Structure 1
Amino acid sequence: HRLSVFTPRSLDVDVVLDLMIHDLDAVLSFVNSPVREIRAAGIPILSDKVDIANARVEFESGCVANFTASRVSTERVRKLRFFQPRQYISIDYGRQDVMVFTVGTGKGEPSANPEIKVFKPQAEQEEPLRAEIRSFLQSVRTRNNPIVPLEVGRRALATALEILSQIQQHTLKVGAPAL
């Protein structure tokens, strides 16, 4: 989830390329699998571009990612959540923390009262844009690959553009005014 309070900034671009692309970039760096299917919907509310969007991305590996981006929220939210058997991981970019919830020991059947272990790994507190620029400059100086390779950024942009295409198709399918 990447939600923002409305500001007149970046109204020349829709919310998918303005906000959602950051989460696409993060998820694609974790999921090393081609995209199988994208379903998406979105609408303009306060501008002539898509202001709120939801996308479901299914990967060949079977992994499924749901993305929500909005610039018409009453609060600022920057969260990424991972679900897998017996575990839930929550990354809060706003608070800059991570919480890991693990159910039981992985043995036996699920129960009505499962043991839930909570672990909070140490997260480095740093302003994200400053960290991104520092990492990029370090890559240039040392001629090493950046933390997030160019290919992941390219995949994020291609996925974002496909999400926009799916939003357009959905808009036409439901008979809403064209974007």
Structure 2
Amino acid sequence: MGLLGVGHLGKIHLKCIRLARAHYDLIGFYDADTDMARHVAAEFNVKAYDSPEELIAASDVVDVVTPTPTHFALVKQALLGGCHVFVEKPLTETLEEAKELIELSRKTRKLVQVGHVERFNPALLALGDLTVKPYFIEAHRLAMFNPRGVDVSVVLDLMIHDLDIILKLADDEVADVRASGVAVLSDQPDIVNARIEFKGGAVANLTASRISLKNMRKVRLFQPDAYISLDLLEKESQVVRLFEQNSKDIPAVGQQFPLDTPKGKRIIHVDQPDSGPVNAIQMELESLADSITNGKPAAVSIEDGYRALALAHRIMEAVNDNQRKLPQPTV
């Protein structure tokens, strides 16, 4: 594996590739910042390549952890160079670029996995084979202000994590999108709320903010037989279900509470499943190796990355449409 980009996140990937040594040999990296490249090469005792072309030519798999505007060109170059690709989210800047990469991936028969790392969050993994079919989804992703990443809307910066999750959990086509947002500290919306309606009737309400006084990453799922709470920041999950009093389906593990209802006594069962600690980035990189070795689809496919990006663009368009309808301030 060769690594493209050794900025803040790129260095984390570098460490995780080395942790995944049973799956990959890290041959080196390329970074356009020559001073940064020289420093990282010395610090981590790893080869710095002089160009992306040289790195790609020496690699079987390329890990792209560079600014989003560079994703399209680098992923295309890697695919044409015969490499499988891991690329950080979002897949590309534009939908046209993403479509071209999908076609190229199919043509070259090389896998592209997109780095929607929350798919590997222990809170989500802990659900295991639990049947999840939500009627209503509520997600809050709040972050304290950080100048890094403010060149794009908070939708692409933060909300896109939750868009990928809800598209996976809802497993349905989007029927309608409504959204509003406000730019407070940057030129792009810093806080956005979106309502997403699916063709099957499910509804998702999402809020993303990068101007909060605290960090929060929570997803709540409501369905007829369960309430599921995911704390992606604390990596904890909780599943609350209602059973008939003498039901044989009540799990042995978890807490039980009696409840009087108009239909008689019921049992509330509360479970806090635990998947154990994981290194999510290492895990997603290893999953790509498993897909390559065993001929399986990527855990987060290039098509998944496209769907999340397409929904993000619909939300940003809805924000713009809503802003045009609002009365403009007068001087």
The TM-score, its normalising length taken from structure 1, stands at: 0.88
Paired residues of 1:39 and 1:163 also in contact (CA < 8 A): yes
Alpha-carbon displacement from aligned partner over 1:78-112 (angstroms, at most 9, x marks no partner): 111100124210111111111001134399x9549
> Given the superposition, is the C-alpha separation of residues 23 and 8 from structure 1 closer, same or farther in structure 2, using an over 3 Å criterion?
same
Match of 1:87 in 2: 226
Higher Cα Rg, which structure: 2
For structure 1, which segment, 139-148 or 11-20, has the greater mean C-alpha deviation from structure 2 after superposition? 139-148
Paired residues of 1:5 and 1:73 also in contact (CA < 8 A): yes
Q: 1:25 aligns with which of 139, 164, 172?
A: 164
Q: Superposed, which structure 2 residues align to 1:127-138 within 5 Å?
A: 127-138=279-290
Shift of 1:149: 2.6
Paired residues of 1:91 and 1:99 also in contact (CA < 8 A): yes
SS of equivalent residue, structure 2 residue 229: strand
Alpha-carbon displacement from aligned partner over 1:118-153 (angstroms, at most 9, x marks no partner): 111122322333333332343344442122232222
Q: 1:166 aligns with which of 315, 318, 328?
A: 318
> Given the superposition, is the C-alpha separation of residues 176 and 30 from structure 1 closer, same or farther in structure 2, using an over 3 Å criterion?
farther
Instruction: Give unmatched runs, 5+ long, in structure 2.
Output: 1-139, 248-259
Instruction: Give unmatched runs, 5+ long, in structure 1.
Output: none
Shift of 1:66: 0.9
Match of 2:149 in 1: 10
Q: 1:119 aligns with which of 253, 271, 274?
A: 271
Match of 1:152 in 2: 304
Q: 2:203 aligns with which of 46, 64, 68?
A: 64
Match of 1:75 in 2: 214
Which AA in structure 2 matches 1:73? S
Which AA in structure 1 matches 2:185? L
Larger relative contact order, structure 1 or 2 (CA cutoff 8 Å, min sep 6): 1
Paired residues of 2:244 and 2:266 also in contact (CA < 8 A): no
Shift of 1:60: 0.3
Which AA in structure 1 matches 2:318? Q
> Given the superposition, is the C-alpha separation of residues 147 and 169 from structure 1 closer, same or farther in structure 2, using an over 3 Å criterion?
same
Give, in whole Å, the separation in 1 of the partners of 2:217 and 2:271: 20
Match of 1:50 in 2: 189
The TM-score, its normalising length taken from structure 2, stands at: 0.49
Percent identity, aligned pairs only, is: 40
Which AA in structure 2 matches 1:165? E
Alpha-carbon displacement from aligned partner over 1:23-46 (angstroms, at most 9, x marks no partner): 000111122211100000011111
Match of 1:36 in 2: 175
SS of equivalent residue, structure 1 residue 170: helix
Paired residues of 1:96 and 1:124 also in contact (CA < 8 A): no
> Given the superposition, is the C-alpha separation of residues 91 and 129 from structure 1 closer, same or farther in structure 2, using an over 3 Å criterion?
same
Paired residues of 1:56 and 1:65 also in contact (CA < 8 A): yes
SS of equivalent residue, structure 2 residue 201: coil
Paired residues of 1:96 and 1:123 also in contact (CA < 8 A): no
Q: 2:240 aligns with which of 73, 96, 101?
A: 101
Give, in whole Å, the separation in 1 of the partners of 2:301 and 2:159: 18
State the Cα RMSD in Å. Answer: 2.3
